[in-house]
Structure 1
Amino acid sequence: MELRIVRRLIPEWGTTYGPPGEGPFPAVMILHGSEGAWSGWSHRNAAILAAHGFLAFPLGYSSGGNAWNAGHIVDYPLDRSVEALAALRAFPYAGPRIGLYGVSRGAEHALLLASLMAREGMEELPDAIAAHSPPDVVCGAFDSRSHRDPGDPGWQAWDANNRAWTWKGSQKELLPTTPIEVERYPGPLFLSHGMKDRMWSVEMTRRLEQRLKMHGHQPEVHYYEGEDHIPGSAGENLHHEYLIGFFEKHLC
């Protein structure tokens, strides 16, 4: 029996999931949300993309944490994600076109990274970006050790003094509520959001869509009726149909 999904290691970076064979394959770097690298969700998403012919690389960027507790998104150097993209491009099994896919905080990460790279005139921008449940502004740090649901006696307000991201050693331009300049990215963009999202309002994606169109872009945008921050079974099937179609169109 031949395996239908094969793991391959990018030395010093982590594992990929892809089809069997020598490739090269269209590649996608996946960015997790506040559930952290240990939760396995980004690896599960990678396996889904791999089953459809992509080489998928789930980049773990949260700090700390373990199999029982999410890591933290605090002072993460976005420069490291630039290096991770370069490592994926250099991987022998990766094709010439590289996509970026993020969910929730990972969607923020993807859009913010692309906007900063474009602003700096960097080469090797992602060739296509998909963001599900994204914010339209920079958000503060996430520390899983202090996170509690509203109503829990240990609940704490989000401290905007703590920063999630750095760029070239500085937090200066990445303060919470700073708009993400997504319009700087010149490539194809996919945005999606559940219309009943209780965590981040769907209005965030509507504002991103409006901002992009004001600057002459035509993003592919999907709003999922009745779906929350993460879609249910039927909603996720629809989402993956759209997502895979988007990456097939722009990476294959």
Structure 2
Amino acid sequence: MVKKLGLLVVLLISYLGGDLFASDLKVKRIWDKKIPNGLLYVAGDLSPRPGVVLLHGSEGGSARSLTFMAMELANEGYTVLVYCYFNCWKKSGDKNETLKDIELASILKDLKTFKESKYVSNKFSIFGHSRGAELALGLSSYIDPKDSPVATIAHAPSDTFTGYYNSDWKNSKCWICKKGENVCKKTELRWNKKCGGISPNEVYSHPDWKTKSSWKIKGVTIPYGKRIEIEKFKKPVLITHGLEDRVWSVSRSKRIVETLKGANLPVEAHYFKNAGHSFVKESEWERRSLVLKFLKKNLK
């Protein structure tokens, strides 16, 4: 019981990004005003180290879902930037933002700033999860080669630029049934305006929004469904995906791998049996081991 409680405390502190956990592991958290939407995790003596940029998924940056991963990578000798591209400053009770109109050019500028940081030894990798993986591949396809990461990692990515999303769309409290609780069919539910944002009904019925992805490049919206031209990125790519993924089909990753292999570009892919969109237990530890090996091979 005591051991379980101790582990719970450590994980809680990790999730909250607490200084106690960072101090114990000799990792410093640094906010660089040049990258206002990011938080740096720098190990030990603050000397320049290979960099890793972590990109969250559709849960948004406020969920702090990457804190433990950032601590782990910093302890492995990397300077880590946990980068938030939407829903960054949400407090308890605030409405969730909709993932839309994200400007890639601004993020590319921040990546260049990170690469040139005094904490980074000029080499860095991008590592994204889900919508963050889509973003990682998209950034890699648009980035200037001289500012490029030396490798990109994508877990459960899409091979195309996809559309608007709000995590409240799956929140039962954001849907009203006039007949009573748990009585209505899905088609009879109405959006609760108290949840704010855009309802999926608006998105899917609007002729313009159905053609728009969540992303822009230099002010121009990237069309929904446009293929990510990852073959423009000439560096190594690592893909991981669960074969039982019901969010993004593994076929998306397989098309990415096929494209890269067809262009004779370096790609490493691992597909996990009995694993879905988010990994747990053995699958997650195996995936993390593969990530560390890939980073060591390409960054150090």
Q: What TM-score do you get using the length of structure 1 for normalisation?
A: 0.90
1:164 maps to a residue whose letter is S
Q: CA deviation at 1:2?
A: 6.1
1:167 maps to a residue whose letter is I
For residue 229 of structure 1, the aligned residue among 277, 288, 294 is 277
Cα-to-partner distance string for 1:231-252 (whole Å, 9 max, x where unaligned): 0121110000000110111111
Structure 1: give runs of 5+ residues left out of the alignment: none
Q: Distance between the aligned counterparts of 1:230 and 1:135, measured in 2?
A: 14
Q: Aligned to 1:34, what secondary structure does the other structure show? A: coil
Q: CA deviation at 1:85?
A: 0.8
Change (3 A) 1:219 1:70: farther
Query: For residue 238 of structure 1, what is the aligned residue in structure 2?
Result: 286
Q: Distance between the aligned counterparts of 2:130 and 2:160, measured in 1?
A: 12
Q: CA deviation at 1:12?
A: 3.8
Change (3 A) 1:64 1:131: closer
Please give the residue correspondences for 1:170-209 in structure 2 after superposition, counting only pairs within 5 Å: 170-171=220-221, 174-209=222-257
Q: Aligned to 1:163, what secondary structure does the other structure show? A: strand
Structure 2: give runs of 5+ residues left out of the alignment: 1-22, 176-184, 192-199, 205-209
Q: Distance between the aligned counterparts of 2:240 and 2:25, measured in 1?
A: 32
Instruction: Say which structure is richer in helix.
Output: 2
Cα-to-partner distance string for 1:27-49 (whole Å, 9 max, x where unaligned): 11111110100000123321221
Cα-to-partner distance string for 1:158-212 (whole Å, 9 max, x where unaligned): 63245311001101xx211111111110001001101111111111101111111
For residue 169 of structure 1, the aligned residue among 208, 219, 235 is 219
Deviates more, 1:101-110 or 1:215-224: 215-224
Q: Aligned pair 1:88/2:114, yes or no?
A: yes
Q: Aligned pair 1:45/2:69, yes or no?
A: yes
Change (3 A) 1:64 1:243: closer
Q: Distance between the aligned counterparts of 1:64 and 1:94, measured in 2?
A: 24
Q: CA deviation at 1:144?
A: 3.5
Q: Distance between the aligned counterparts of 1:91 and 1:221, measured in 2?
A: 31
1:77 maps to a residue whose letter is E
Q: Distance between the aligned counterparts of 2:96 and 2:68, measured in 1?
A: 16
Q: Aligned to 2:146, what secondary structure does the other structure show? A: coil
Q: Distance between the aligned counterparts of 1:170 and 1:76, measured in 2?
A: 10
Q: Distance between the aligned counterparts of 2:99 and 2:286, measured in 1?
A: 29
For residue 36 of structure 1, the aligned residue among 54, 60, 64 is 60
For residue 134 of structure 1, the aligned residue among 143, 151, 157 is 157
Change (3 A) 1:42 1:71: farther
RMSD: 2.2
1:234 maps to a residue whose letter is E
1:29 maps to a residue whose letter is V
Query: For residue 14 of structure 2, what is the aligned residue in structure 1?
Result: none
Q: Distance between the aligned counterparts of 2:277 and 2:65, measured in 1?
A: 14
Query: For residue 59 of structure 1, what is the aligned residue in structure 2?
Result: 83
Q: Distance between the aligned counterparts of 1:64 and 1:57, measured in 2?
A: 14
Query: For residue 100 of structure 2, what is the aligned residue in structure 1?
Result: 74
On the 8 A contact 1:130/1:189 being kept in 2, the answer is yes
Task: Indicate the structure (1 or 2) with the bigger Cα radius of gyration.
Answer: 2
On the 8 A contact 1:111/1:131 being kept in 2, the answer is yes
1:207 maps to a residue whose letter is R
Q: CA deviation at 1:15?
A: 1.8
Q: Aligned to 2:52, what secondary structure does the other structure show? A: strand
Q: How many residues are aligned here?
A: 247
On the 8 A contact 1:36/1:72 being kept in 2, the answer is no
